[in-house]
Structure 1
Amino acid sequence: MRAGGRGRDVTAGWDVVSPGRPGRLPGVIMAGFDVLDLAAPVRLVPHPAVTVVVEFGAGQPIVADAAGRERRGSLVAGPGFGLGGALARGADVTCVQVRLSPVLARSILGVAAGDLSGIGVPLDDLWGADAARLRERLAAAASWPDRFALVEEALARRRRPGSYPDPEVAWAWRRLVAGRGLVRIDPLAAEVGWSRKRLWSRFAAQLGLPPKRAATLIRFDHAAYHLATGRDPARVAADAGYADQSHLHREVVSCTGVTPATLAEEPFLAVDDVAWPTLQRRRRGPGFPARQAI
């Protein structure tokens, strides 16, 4: 497998494309995937964003969680999509995947991130006929830049100003992201002037997971990315804020169902820099080097 490059790459039979320019919508990033065939199911790697998958190829992606529940085709899922272990499979799959800040979920999708837990919901259930029309336009588009523009247009058109979480919840989320998950919840509640219980309940209801779980997911996202660079797990554990390497091991197993060594070889991490280049600087943080090509 090979990862790296600018904008476009082919890894394990995948054609992975990222937009050549920053998007117009803050808190929204996207990538294009063209997969001829997944010879074996590919493990999803949880990340701290709402996932929107819009497929428009000959085949449909199929996602199965650890309990065996399946979702086929275009979908929307909350933060931590795939937590506990989930696999994707399919052939002739072409799709745009959007990573959306959970703070924006209600304003763009019409539902709070808290309503998108588990394996997610079909995009058609949220957007109705608009989802089918978007797929048709994507299939007819002549290029990936045109497709990214179509998806961005669709998201912008559906955006409803004012449909946002409480300012305190949005602020707490941004603090957790900026702190790479290394922020204690009690002081965070005090900073917004709320009790711990109030922050916990409002945060969970509006963003899809309680603040401590959000911090865990954000921290895991940083660790998973750097495990895939081949860095020593003990160093990753220390730099990412885990108590020790055993703590990192337990958390990786809890989040994905596999060990850190197995996680480091997952294809979705191998294409991370190509699909999501705007996340590189945030993930590096103090003490983290730039990612090397695999």
Structure 2
Amino acid sequence: MPSTGTPPDWAEVDIAVPRRSVRLPGISMAGFRRRVPGAADIAMVAHPSVSLLVDLTEGAGLVYETHDRRERGTVVIGLFPGELRVAGSGPAIECLQIRLSPPVAAKVLGASTGFSGTVVSLEDVWGRDAERVEGRLRAAVTWDERFTIAWGILGRRLDSRPPVDPEVAYAWRRMHTSRGRIRVDGLADEVGWSRKRLWSRFGAQLGTTPKRAARLVRFDHAAHLLAAGRAPADVAADSGYVDQSHLHREVKAITGAAPAAVAAAPWLAIDDVAWPDRLPGTCARPER
């Protein structure tokens, strides 16, 4: 996923994060504002979350491109989006990015199966509510105000919609806390379901299979190790790949790029600033 445009200089980007006291489980967000006028073109790296990008840029706004789709404005980015670029220009490029764990995304976005491998307009998901949400966020003066508005909207949706099965939510947490290094066949035993039932319910509610979900979580861990400067052979061993060739194939399959290109991806360079809590701390057993 090598960048062919002008990647942002992160020294020229203001990054805002909400206070810990107002966060909700399974949801994290960050605000980005590039102060320097001009164009930017950057490759986004797949992440084990469903992302909601609220475009707050004045003028033409942001454009998102995959191999077969082009969207503009505020979008929902699903799991496994493939090669994805985001571009924009203007006096100041500004957006709010919200990461939703798949169980939370199934509630907040009101769709259980449609977000794996897709980039869709938020209007296609929320209808007129999308325009109202974007308008309220644009009218806010500070990032704290925007975060408060976003938390309120997401919290109301969480309260008003049924959750995914606790067994499905538990399976996802186990994958995440283990960094994808878990025998997915054993998850069915842990939750007291048959393998067939877990695969069916997981796919129906989260839009992907347990195996693919664990694969994406493992890739995310490896990608951040690569970005931190670790040697590919060491990353492969630490992340549970058979060898360096296995890591190379997985990175290429998920991003379209070699590990060296992913290691240099600007998108990963700001994760520790914008997303200080990438992994949940606990994993409770589901009630049955």
In structure 2, C-alpha distance between the alignment counterparts of 1:74 and 1:22, rounded to whole Å: 27
Q: Which residue of 1 aligns with 2:278?
A: 279
Pick aligned residue for 2:87 from 86, 89, 93 = 89
Corresponding residue pairs, total: 270
Kindly provide the amino acid, as one letter, of the partner of residue 205 in structure 1: A
In the alignment, what sits opposite 2:158? 159
* Correspondence for 2:50: 50
Q: 1:224 to 1:136 in 2, by over 3 A?
A: same
* Equivalent in the alignment of 2:64: 63
Q: Which runs of 5+ in 1 are unaligned?
A: 1-8, 283-294
AA in 1 matched with 2:65: A
Residue matched to 1:227: 226
Aligned mates of 1:175, 1:38 — CA distance in 2: 43
Runs of 4+ in 1 over 3 A off after TM superposition: 35-40
Q: Cα offset for 1:269?
A: 0.6
Determine the C-alpha separation between the residues in 1 that align with 2:37 and 2:66.
20
Q: TM-score, normalised by structure 2?
A: 0.87
**Per-residue deviation, residues 163-189 of structure 1 (Å, max 9, x unmatched):** 111221111111111111111121111
Q: Does the 8 Å CA contact 2:40/2:89 hold for their aligned counterparts?
A: no
Equivalences for residues 97-108 of structure 1 within 5 A: 97-108=97-108
Query: RMSD of the TM alignment (CA)?
Result: 2.1
User: What letter matches 1:86 in structure 2?
Assistant: L
Distance 2:239 2:84 in 1: 24
- Encode CA deviations 1:97-132: one digit per residue, 9 max, x unaligned: 1001111123222112x2123332211222233222
Residue 131 of structure 2 corresponds to which residue in structure 1?
A: 132
Residue 256 of structure 2 aligns with which residue? Answer: 257
Alpha-carbon deviations, 1:136-157, whole Å to 9, x = none?
A: 2222222111111111111112
CA separation of 1:192/1:28 partners in 2, compared to 1, >3 Å: closer, same or farther? same
CA distance in 2: counterparts of 1:219 and 1:228, whole angstroms: 14
Tell me how far 1:22 sits from its aligned partner: 4.5
Distance 1:280 1:173 in 2: 12
Seen in structure 2, the aligned counterparts of structure 1 residues 187 and 259 have a Cα distance that, compared at 3 Å, is same
Structure 1 residues 269-278 or 209-218, which shifts more?
Answer: 269-278
Tell me which amino acid in the other structure corresponds to 1:101: S
Q: Per the alignment, in what secondary structure is the counterpart of residue 96 of structure 1?
A: strand
Give how far 1:49 is off: 0.7
| Separation in 2, partners of 1:177, 1:29 | 15
Structure-1 separation of matches of 2:23 and 2:265? 31
Counterpart contact for 1:252–1:258, Cα < 8 Å: yes
CA distance in 2, matches of 1:38, 1:207: 38
1:111 paired to 2:87: no
- The answer to which of 20-29 and 43-52 deviates more is 20-29
Query: Which letter does structure 2 place at the counterpart of 1:61?
Result: L
Q: Give the residue type in structure 2 aligned to 1:73.
A: G
Cα distance in 2 for residues equivalent to 1:95 and 1:201: 36
List gaps (5 residues or longer) in structure 2: 1-7, 282-288
Cα distance between partner residues in 1 of 2:155 and 2:280:
26
Cross-structure match for 1:75: 75
Change (3 A) 1:233 1:186: same
Amino acid at match of 2:41: P
The one-letter code of the counterpart of 1:277 is P
1:62 offset after TM fit, Å? 1.1
- Assess if the C-alpha contact under 8 Å between 1:273 and 1:280 holds in 2: no
CA distance in 1, matches of 2:249, 2:11: 29
What is the percent sequence identity of the aligned residues?
49
TM-score (norm 1): 0.85
Paired position in structure 2 for 1:23:
22
Conserved 8 A contact 1:78-1:102: no
> 1:258 & 1:18 partners in 2: Cα distance?
29
Letter in 2 for 1:64: E
